[in-house]
Amino acid sequence: MPDYNRRQFLSLMAAGTATPFLLTFSADKALAGLSRAAYPDKAPLPLNRTNPSAVFDLSVASGDPTASGVMLWTHIRSEQYDPSESLTFQVAVDPGFTLLALEGKVRGEQFGADRDHTVRLDLDGQLNADSYYYYRFQYRGVFSRTGRCRTAAAVGQSVDSVKFALLTCQDYTNGYYSALNHVADDNSIDYVAHLGDFIYESVGDPRYQDLPFEDRRIELPSGFPVAMNLEDYRFLHRTYRSDPFLQKAMENHTWIITTDDHETCNDCYWDYEQDTLGCPDHPYTTDPQFSNDADLKRQLKLDSQRAWAEYIPARIDIDEGRTHPHLYSRIYRQFRFGDLVNLNMLDTRTYRTPHPCGEDAFLGRYVPFGCGNLNNPEQSMMGETQREWLINTMAASTARWNMLGNQTYMGRLGIDLGEKAKLPFNVDAWDGYDAERIWLMNEVQSNSIENLVVVTGDLHTYMASQVKKNYADLNPFNFSNQVGVEFMTPSLTSAGLFDVLLAQAPDDEVRDFLLSATSEGAVRLTNPHIRMFNSKDHGYSTIEYTDGYCEWIAYKVDKNLNSGEQERKALARYRKYEAWPWMTQKSVQGYS
């Protein structure tokens, strides 16, 4: 038997959550990857002219950076799969692969039909910190396209800046991913953080999917308008990953991804009484033929978890022997970027309790009249274990900035109904879990967790706001009430908040009221902690951290044209200075 070194042996054995592999070559770690300073601006990745998509139909991706590695991902077209053929991977310092850092093999049986022919390699412990590398796969004589990945800076390492692209809500049926071409080509971006709704379980729900693009229509294997099983979820992931702009962005950057609701079902939660998935708008709940069966819903959650784990390059805990979703996988996790940024990515769907009200009707969680359960201390977004993990990891961090990857809006979003009332707009967000929000803010302050920056998706809206402990306290100079800032990135393509609400308006009077109540002026008047609100446009945003400030820039890119030449327009730019409790607005001139 060959005398493999320790790193080779560990790479073969440490395969509990990833594809097992065997290293066949490992250069001395002194062979560093390219540092950020040395990285050539706008350097194109080399072209593979051998038709790589014939074998690697969904290209390649990298994710979950550590100071010594990343996750690598690819997929083999099922028609090309041969269990007797091994797959080779290479990681190099240069795009021409003349300076190899790693080379290894994966046996064919490790990426068979049981894994839907996906390959997920965990290279943690194999690479140098804060470095760029190039990677590719080879199968049956064909090379994949080349990907570029980046490791994180070592904990405590001095870092000048870290910049993330922020993405969310990319309904394939509702538009084109032209914005991702800008993300792919922007070499000032260090990493991409995706805050959920990477796929949508629905493919033709008239409540928010009017299917305006014939070439983006999807028909699920089950024939239902929503995912019903593992085959459907896998089909959705394959369809989304077939988009060339998404492929390009995943080739060019290392991604950090979490889930929201649509990876499983709309506005999902955990029904602790039945010990099963809560999916208030799914046929398993609403269609009498399925009898609201707890086993079917529990299996639906497992199926969505499995498909996500197969198709996302994430380093997550998985126990294949478990049949309970809470024990099968854990996706909340921490990332550290030198002495500058500590990032905690949350999972606010798997363990959350039911909504305080509004389960009986689609959009019933919006503007819930007569909801008397809003301050229930038993309401939880995170669950006890995740809640304790979050506070402990943030409190232990020595980084300058604490970044929180969050799904639904953490601040208060009230709506003014005039003489009737002022109500929370959306109890699927943290407004429906106010007691836990107050607890979290108190814990942040009592543990002296400073420079909290919450980044959020879900609502298909651009938003910049102050995070406060008590939103009823309107005194802007009460420093003890200012806990941090929150930036919401818009939907890439998914129907805007206006579109969803107006589609549900029963008459013109309600329509006019909704237009007025959710305008930026009305929202900011009712919620003075909100500095920017735009629910009409689509695109993405970036956030950059330095020692003295973090800066958020919101970009608009039209989703209605499928073109790499689509114009990008900067809509807003805000800075939060390290020693100042409030954000300040900056000019966007020169930032388009």
| CA distances from residue 556 to 278, 314, 493, 518 in whole angstroms, order as listed | 34, 28, 11, 19
DSSP for 320-343 reads TT--SHHHHEE--EEEEETTTEEE
Assess whether pLDDT exceeds 90 at residue 8. Answer: no
- Residue 571: what residue type? L
Could you tell me if 485 and 453 are in contact, meaning their C-beta atoms sit under 8 angstroms apart?
yes
Q: Indicate where the chain has its CATH 2.60.40.380 domain(s).
A: 6-150
Q: What is the 3-state secondary structure (H, E, C) of 13-24?
A: HCCCCCCCCEEE
Separation of alpha carbons 437 and 468, rounded Å: 10
- Residue 175: what residue type? G
For 2, the 3-state DSSP assignment is coil
Average pLDDT of 72-92? 98
pLDDT at position 415 is 87
How many C-beta atoms lie closer than 10 Å to residue 34's C-beta? 18
Chain segment 95-107, per-residue pLDDT in tens: 999 999 999 999 9
Which residues have a Cβ under 8 Å from the Cβ of 24 and sit 6 or more positions away?
103, 104, 105
In CATH terms, is domain 161-586 a member of 3.60.21.70?
Answer: yes
Task: Using pLDDT thresholds of 50, 70 and 90, give the confidence band for residue 513.
Answer: confident
For the chain, give the percent of residues with pLDDT over 90: 82
The angle formed by the CA atoms of residues 367, 493 and 455, to the nearest 5 degrees, is: 65
Q: Which of 105, 88, 84 is nearest to 8 (CA)?
A: 105
Task: Using pLDDT thresholds of 50, 70 and 90, give the confidence band for residue 226.
Answer: very high
Could you tell me if 172 and 89 are in contact, meaning their C-beta atoms sit under 8 angstroms apart?
no
Could you tell me if 492 and 168 are in contact, meaning their C-beta atoms sit under 8 angstroms apart?
yes
Q: Indicate where the chain has its CATH 3.60.21.70 domain(s).
A: 161-586
Chain segment 124-172, per-residue pLDDT in tens: 999 999 999 999 999 999 999 999 999 999 999 999 999 999 999 999 9
6-150: CATH superfamily? Purple acid phosphatase-like, N-terminal (2.60.40.380)
Task: Using pLDDT thresholds of 50, 70 and 90, give the confidence band for residue 496.
Answer: confident
Separation of alpha carbons 282 and 201, rounded Å: 10
pLDDT at position 211 is 85
